[in-house]
Amino acid sequence: MSKRIVVLSEEVANQIAAGEVVEKPASIVKELVENSIDAGARDIRVELTKGGCQSIRIVDNGSGIEREDVALVFERHATSKISKLDDIYYVGSFGFRGEAMASIASVARVEMLTRRPDDPEGTKAVAEAGCISEISPAGTPAGTQITVTELFANVPARRKFLKTEATEQSACLDAITRLALAHPEVRFVVTANGRELFAAPAARDVSERVAMVMGNDFTGHCLAISGQQENVRIKGFISTPEFTKSNSKSIFLFVNSRFIRDNSMTHAALAAYRQVIEPRRYPAAVLFIDLPGEEVDINVHPAKLEVRFRNSREIYDLVSKTVAHRLASAQTSQDACAYRLTPRETTSASSGFWRPKESYASSERPHEVFSRQNLRQVIDDDLFARAGCPSDVPVRVEEISCGGKITFANRKYLGQVADTYLVFGGPNGVMMVDQHAAHERIILERLKAAAGGKVISQPLLMPEVVSLTPAQISLFEGAMSLLSDIGLDLEIFGRDAIVVKALPASLPHVPPVDVISDLADQLGDGQVWPSLVERKEKILASLACRAAIKANVVLSAEEVAALCRDLENTPFNKTCPHGRPISVQFSLYEIERMFKRK
């Protein structure tokens, strides 16, 4: 039986529409702070209770609202920014569609106090479930105060999708961080449960604000960039190649001072780093793109987080070339470290693409000089001894499967390919092992085994202070017990730093700043884990990746032998923690087919 088409009630329509704008507390913070900036505020205070899930209060010293217009604030599509469609392409403010306040009021209780500087008294307005319940005179300072409570009280199904208090609070701080970067002239203060978490005084310029917000680690490893092509300009800061992150969340893109997410522009920035940082590592950057309003459509996303460029190809090229040029200039500068931007050669033996056992004798690392016979003896003695076979006794032709695990019995080490893949020959073919993937799995299983009991920590000789953003500090506060369980001794140090006192003993050579940076990325990935065990394993996998031998590293004979020994004794040694294969085998039959012998 078909159902009749009906027109939804205004209440239901408003609640559905609110879902496009108000996803979580951070959405409310973003919309209301943007309204404050549009009102000319130079001092904005954000107060959160229980991560914004219980209440959000925004106080600004902006221009305020006339009493006659207060009721219109809560009407959908009531705005002073535009009057016709073409105005959208020239609007310089953040909010212009008149949706934010109506959307927030439809899913929460909103109380607003506002006064213009020249008015003798202000106005109080209360709205809930999309309806205004009160408008009355009130004494209040110049500017606007908005308090949001009972979030999703009338939409309980949506409230269930809120995450932990720490995660929601971190998301709110992320929203403030983006706005603070784009508006150095505005003072921002954020408190949570009465405690100050973030403070950014008004700055003279963007560079001063970046230094305040991004932390000492970034500002100590960044390069200023600037470029222009016709009427499009780009400026900002990029990290040097040695400062990397485990994901791309530290790349901040702004178009006409509006934070956006754009895969194409992010890819443009990453393209310039392709040959100078490790695979699966990402730079940090704060990039500002300025262009005429008619060259970009900002009305393609409900929260205006995405835009559409008229000439996206030209802007992509400008971003990529500007970043690449700055990295290249740093290479040749006498005041900067040298960074190799040219692609690595992969066609000749001298480039390191193929490194047979003999080439160790000519290695530039004198402490790893071995003759061909010595190298073979080190590997063969170690592998055959563990297989129970003396090296001078002929071994069986068939290969030992060892229950589906990787085994090196009856195999001879031949060398490295691209200083990354270890090559082993056997009677039935050739096996190649990814040294990074293998070492990752070894370290992860050691960490997991330790996490099942008492993890042995290695105290640092001198505790190290690592700078973080307030949003990251908020995440660490909620994970201290978990991190302690896996051998990390940490202490919150002020609003934007963590003191590292000890690391797991399995990570003796990893700089504390790298460990904390990757942990911050993992804690802030926004995922909801079904269990504490899964979350812990994700963190352990990140630590293992950071500590493992990297690609493009030459291994000595002893290092290869030790890696093989440890891998054989490691459970689940077929794949790395990310699910990629550790080894690839080519049977003798496959090799003979490639040479047309079969």
Query: Which pLDDT belongs to residue 16?
Result: 53
**Residue at 210 is within a domain:** no
Whether the predicted pLDDT of 99 surpasses 70: yes
Residue 295 confidence class, pLDDT cut points 50, 70, 90: confident
Per-residue confidence at 190, pLDDT binned at 50, 70, 90? very high
Task: Tell whether 162 and 117 lie within a shared domain.
Answer: yes
Total count of domains within the chain: 4
Strand (E) or helix (H) holding 12: helix 10-21
Q: Which of the four pLDDT bands, split at 50, 70 and 90, describes residue 260? A: confident
Joined tokens for residue 334:
């006498």
- SS3 at position 237: strand
Q: How far apart are CA 369 and CA 192, in angstroms?
A: 59
Report pLDDT digits (tens) over 9-42.
666 666 555 545 688 999 999 999 999 998 999 9
Q: How far apart are CA 541 and CA 350, in angstroms?
A: 34
80, 120: one domain: yes
pLDDT at 452: 62
How does the average pLDDT of the chain come out, rounded?
A: 79
Strand order in the sheet with 489-492: 457-467, 497-504, 489-492
Q: What's the Cα-to-Cα distance from 19 to each of 34, 101, 175, 384, rounded to whole Å?
A: 18, 13, 18, 64
What is the reported pLDDT for 134? 92
Residues 179 and 226 both lie in one domain: no
The whole-number average pLDDT for the span 285-310 is 76
> Domain for residue 339, yes or no?
no
- Residue 495: inside a domain: yes
Q: Yes or no: say if 417 and 440 are a contact pair by the CB < 8 Å rule.
A: no
Tell me: pLDDT of 241 over 80.
Answer: yes
189 pLDDT tier (thresholds 50, 70, 90):
very high
Q: What is the pLDDT of residue 362?
A: 35
Q: Which CA distances in Å does 451 have to 131, 447, 536, 546?
A: 53, 6, 9, 18
pLDDT at 338 over 80: no
Give which of 306, 182, 184 is closest to 256, Cα–Cα: 182
Q: Is residue 446 in some structural domain?
A: no
Residue 46: CATH number of its domain: 3.30.565.10
Are 515 and 413 in a shared domain? no
445 falls within a domain: no
DSSP string, 444-493: HHHHHHHHTS-PPEEEEEEEEEEE--HHHHHHHHTTHHHHHHTT-EEEE-
Q: Are residues 282 and 314 in the same domain?
A: yes
Residue 256 shares a structural domain with residue 300: yes
Q: Do 101 and 227 belong together in one domain? A: no
Grade residue 94 by pLDDT with cuts at 50, 70 and 90. low
Whether residue 82 has pLDDT greater than 90:
no
Q: Who contacts 369 (Cβ-Cβ below 8 Å, separation ≥6)?
A: 360, 361, 363
Rg from Cα positions in the chain? 29
**95-104, 363-372, 572-581: least confident range:** 363-372
In a domain, 448, yes or no: no
Q: What is the CATH number of the domain that holds 286?
A: 3.30.230.10
What is the average pLDDT across 463-472? 88
Average pLDDT estimate for 186-200: 93
Query: What's 463's domain CATH number?
Result: 3.30.1370.100
Please indicate, yes or no, if residue 206 is contained in any of the structural domains.
no
**pLDDT at residue 468, rounded to an integer:** 87
Q: Are residues 53 and 184 in the same domain?
A: yes
Give the integer Cα–Cα distance in Å for 485 and 488. Answer: 7
Residue 296 phi/psi, 5-degree rounding, is -145, 135
Same domain for 584 and 541, yes or no, is no
Q: For position 362, which CATH number holds? A: 3.30.1540.20
Task: Tell me what pLDDT residue 419 has.
Answer: 86
Domain boundary among 144, 169, 198: 198
In terms of residue numbers, what domain contains 126? 10-198
What mean pLDDT do residues 508-513 have? 80
Interior angle at CA 324, CA 319 and CA 330, nearest 5: 130
Last residue of a domain, one of 274, 301, 332: 332
Give the per-residue pLDDT at 162: 87
17 shares its domain with 151: yes
Among residues 332, 365, 392, which one ends one of the domains?
Answer: 332
Dig out the tokens for 14 from the structure: 């408003």
| Opening angle at CA 73, ends 27 and 109, nearest 5 | 55
Kindly report the backbone phi and psi dihedral angles of residue 94, in degrees, each rounded to the nearest multiple of 5, phi listed first.
-80, -60
285 confidence band (pLDDT: 50, 70, 90) = very high
For residues 189 and 246, membership in a common domain is answered with no
Does residue 141 fall inside a structural domain? yes
Res 159 pLDDT > 90: no
181 & 309 share domain: no
